[in-house]
């Protein structure tokens, strides 16, 4: 379990260092384009359950490399699950329409007891995630939408047709 948390911490630090480096290199841009940023809620997808997320490009562009981080929590009759999705992604497209490809990891921490419906013990796991999605992202600011496939995997399973849907705001 300690190894899982060390791996998650390493992934978080790597994500933050890439984000800071991207912001530093993006500050020398001509200023004609603005870095795309999004806040959104997601059902399914790389967050696995229901999550609140932040997504940003690493340079002053609407497309290209970026990353996301989020958090989710669900509690039902003594069972609970917390998810923390982190991923890197790449957007292809122009204007408002993009294709998103991403790769990441999600920490899934579950809790329950012997009387629980879903989980009979406290457990944590890191789930690998991918993203192949359509993204509607306004040119300036406004409503954003994503829908697509988010295959999930770890050493014990692979689910290729796991889907996700998100609604949010781009600025």
Residues contacting 77, CB < 8 A, separation 6+ = 116, 117
How many domains does one find in the chain? 1
Residue 22 has pLDDT above 70, yes or no: no
Question: Domain span at residue 59?
Answer: 2-170
Q: Where are the beta strands (DSSP E) in 45-161?
A: 50-57, 64-76, 79-94, 97-111, 123-136, 142-149, 152-153, 158-159
Residue 11: predicted pLDDT: 54
- The CATH number of the domain holding residue 65 is 2.40.160.20
Question: What would the pLDDT profile of 79-98 be if each residue is shown by its tens digit?
Answer: 889 999 999 999 999 999 99
- Token readout for 55 is 């997504």
Query: Helices (DSSP H) in the chain: which residue ranges?
Result: 2-26
Residue 111: predicted pLDDT: 86
Query: Is this model's pTM higher than 0.75 or not?
Result: yes
Q: By C-alpha distance, which of 56, 71, 62 is closest to 19?
A: 56
Residue 161: predicted pLDDT: 95
Tell me the CA distances in angstroms from 42 to 69, 83, 146, one per residue in order.
12, 12, 9
Residue 77: band (very low, low, confident or very high) from pLDDT cuts 50, 70, 90: confident
What does the radius of gyration of the chain's CA atoms come to, in whole angstroms?
A: 17
């Amino acid at each position: 379990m300690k190894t899982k948390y060390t791996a998650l911490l390493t992934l978080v630090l790597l994500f933050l260092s890439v984000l800071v480096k991207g912001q530093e290199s993006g500050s020398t841009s001509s200023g004609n384009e603005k870095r795309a940023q999004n806040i959104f809620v997601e059902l399914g997808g790389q967050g696995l359950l229901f999550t609140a997320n932040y997504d940003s490009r690493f340079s002053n562009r609407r497309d290209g490399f970026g990353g996301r981080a989020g958090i989710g929590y669900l509690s039902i009759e003594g069972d609970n699950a917390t998810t923390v999705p982190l991923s890197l992604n790449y957007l292809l497209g122009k204007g408002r329409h993009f294709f998103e490809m991403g790769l990441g990891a999600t920490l899934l921490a579950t809790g329950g007891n012997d009387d629980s419906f879903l989980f009979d013990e406290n457990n944590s796991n890191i789930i690998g995630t991918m993203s192949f999605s359509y993204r509607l992202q306004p040119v300036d600011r406004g409503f954003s939408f994503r829908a697509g496939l988010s295959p999930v995997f770890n050493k014990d399973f692979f689910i290729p047709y796991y889907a996700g849907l998100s609604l949010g705001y781009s600025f």
